[in-house]
Structure formats: structure tokens, C-alpha cells
């Protein structure tokens, strides 16, 4: 039993800055509230316009994570994002658009629970971003914080909250989705992108 949330794949979306735990939280939401064969349909396309308004009929869960962890993770998967940089100091001090190169080869793995694959196509997420990585992370987070003050269908939740208090974080999501569920299944497999 998945609680009383009559979840529809079209009315719950998980989003956040890349490498913040979006796939992890989407997999948890799917496992505990929706039950589709694959969680990836819950992850909102990262190429969305950051300034778009949020659809009133959709519940959005924005995942945020410590900036240092995010930057280390993006740097670790820099090939996936087409970033031509080989020094972390240079990475954090250079605008994303100045690091992007069509020539960078990507080879990363992706695990969507039911399917695992190796991908060589790069994401163009940062191609036109004219900010340094720490700046862009801050802009992204602050924008959604402001939206969460306006829209009651947007929940902000930290990746770290799942690590510190899994039950509490899942109870927060359950309440946000209107579910009475209080027992939650963890995700035991690695999900999302990795090298």
C-alpha cells in the first residue's frame, strides 16, 4: 500500500540544481508514493527555463544540497556536462559557458532502477550559463527559495535531511503530497548518473 496519495506521473516533479540528489529523491517518491516501473519520469527536464512559473496542478519537490558537495560532484562528472577543465580551482573560478566544449567526450553510467546504461552523449545544461559554478548554484537555489514563498505547491528539501533523518524527510514529503503514509522504503541501489 502506498498511502492515500493518488499519484499520477504527471502531477509530481522533482527538480534541483544538477548533482543535488534529484534522482535519489525521485526514486524515493516513486517507490513510496507512485509505484511506476521507472522513477525517471518524475525528474523534471533540467533544460527548463529557470524563470518559468510553476504549473498549479503539479507538486514540485526541489532538492538542494551543500554547495561544496554539488561542485565536487559536477566536477567529477564534468565530461557528462561537456566541461573542458582539469583543475578544480579553475573549475570554480571560470564561467560554465567558458568551460563548455562540444569536443569533450562523455562516458558515464546511468542507473534508472530498471535499466542501466552507459551514455556517451553530453548534457548541455551549462552551455549558456554565464556564471561561475558557485554563483550559479546560489542563483538557482535563491530563485527557488523565492518561488517557494509564493507557491504552496513547491517543497524545498535538502539532500542532507535524508542522510540525517530519513524518516523525518520522508514524512515531510508524505505530508506535502497529502499522504497518510508513515512507513517508507529506502532506495538501496545507486541511482542517477555516475562515472
Q: What is the pLDDT along the chain (195 residues), one digit of tens a residue?
A: 344 445 555 588 899 999 999 999 999 999 999 887 677 778 875 545 555 667 778 899 999 999 999 999 999 999 989 999 999 999 999 999 999 999 988 777 777 665 677 777 788 889 999 999 999 999 999 999 999 999 999 999 999 999 999 999 999 999 999 999 999 999 888 888 877
Pair 154, 144: CB distance under 8 Å: yes
Residue 89 gets which letter from DSSP?
H
At 2 the pLDDT is: 41
Domains in the chain: how many in total? 1
Residue 28 belongs to domain with CATH number: 3.40.50.300
Pull the grid cell for residue 189: 541501489
Q: Which residues of 100-130 are buried (b: 16+ CB within 10 A; e: fewer)?
A: beeebebebebbbbeeeeeeeebbebbbebe
Question: pTM to 2 decimals?
Answer: 0.88
At 161 the pLDDT is: 98
Q: Is residue 156 assigned to a domain?
A: yes
- Alpha helices by DSSP H, listed for the chain, are 22-29, 67-76, 88-93, 96-99, 133-150, 159-164, 166-177
d(CA 5, CA 105): 42
Q: Is residue 148 assigned to a domain?
A: yes
Q: Is residue 99 assigned to a domain?
A: no
Pair 137, 91: CB distance under 8 Å: no
Vertex 23: Cα angle to 184 and 91 (nearest 5): 140
At 4 the pLDDT is: 43
Residue 143's domain comprises 12-77+133-194
Q: Is residue 97 assigned to a domain?
A: no
Residue 187 burial (CB count, 10 A): 18
Q: Is residue 112 assigned to a domain?
A: no
d(CA 56, CA 186): 29
pLDDT digits (tens, 9 = 90+) for 49-71: 555 667 778 899 999 999 999 99
Amino acid at each position: 500500500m502506498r498511502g492515500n496519495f493518488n499519484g499520477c506521473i504527471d502531477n509530481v516533479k522533482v527538480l534541483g540544481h544538477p548533482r543535488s540528489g534529484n534522482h535519489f529523491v525521485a526514486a524515493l517518491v516513486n517507490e513510496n508514493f507512485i509505484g511506476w516501473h521507472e522513477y525517471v519520469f518524475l525528474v523534471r527536464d533540467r533544460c527548463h527555463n529557470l524563470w518559468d512559473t510553476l504549473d498549479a496542478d503539479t507538486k514540485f519537490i526541489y532538492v538542494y544540497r551543500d554547495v561544496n558537495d554539488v561542485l565536487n560532484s559536477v566536477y567529477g562528472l564534468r565530461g557528462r556536462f561537456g566541461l573542458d577543465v582539469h583543475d578544480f580551482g579553475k573549475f570554480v573560478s571560470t564561467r560554465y559557458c567558458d568551460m563548455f566544449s562540444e569536443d569533450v567526450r562523455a562516458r558515464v553510467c546511468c542507473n534508472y532502477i530498471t535499466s542501466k546504461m552507459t551514455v556517451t552523449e553530453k548534457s548541455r545544461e551549462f552551455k549558456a550559463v554565464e556564471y561561475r559554478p558557485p554563483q550559479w548554484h546560489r542563483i538557482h537555489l535563491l530563485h527557488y527559495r523565492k518561488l517557494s514563498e509564493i507557491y504552496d505547491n513547491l517543497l524545498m528539501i535538502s539532500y542532507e535531511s535524508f542522510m540525517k533523518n530519513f524518516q523525518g524527510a520522508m514524512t515531510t514529503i508524505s505530508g506535502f503530497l497529502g499522504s497518510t503514509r508513515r512507513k517508507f522504503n529506502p532506495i538501496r541501489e545507486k541511482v542517477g548518473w555516475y562515472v
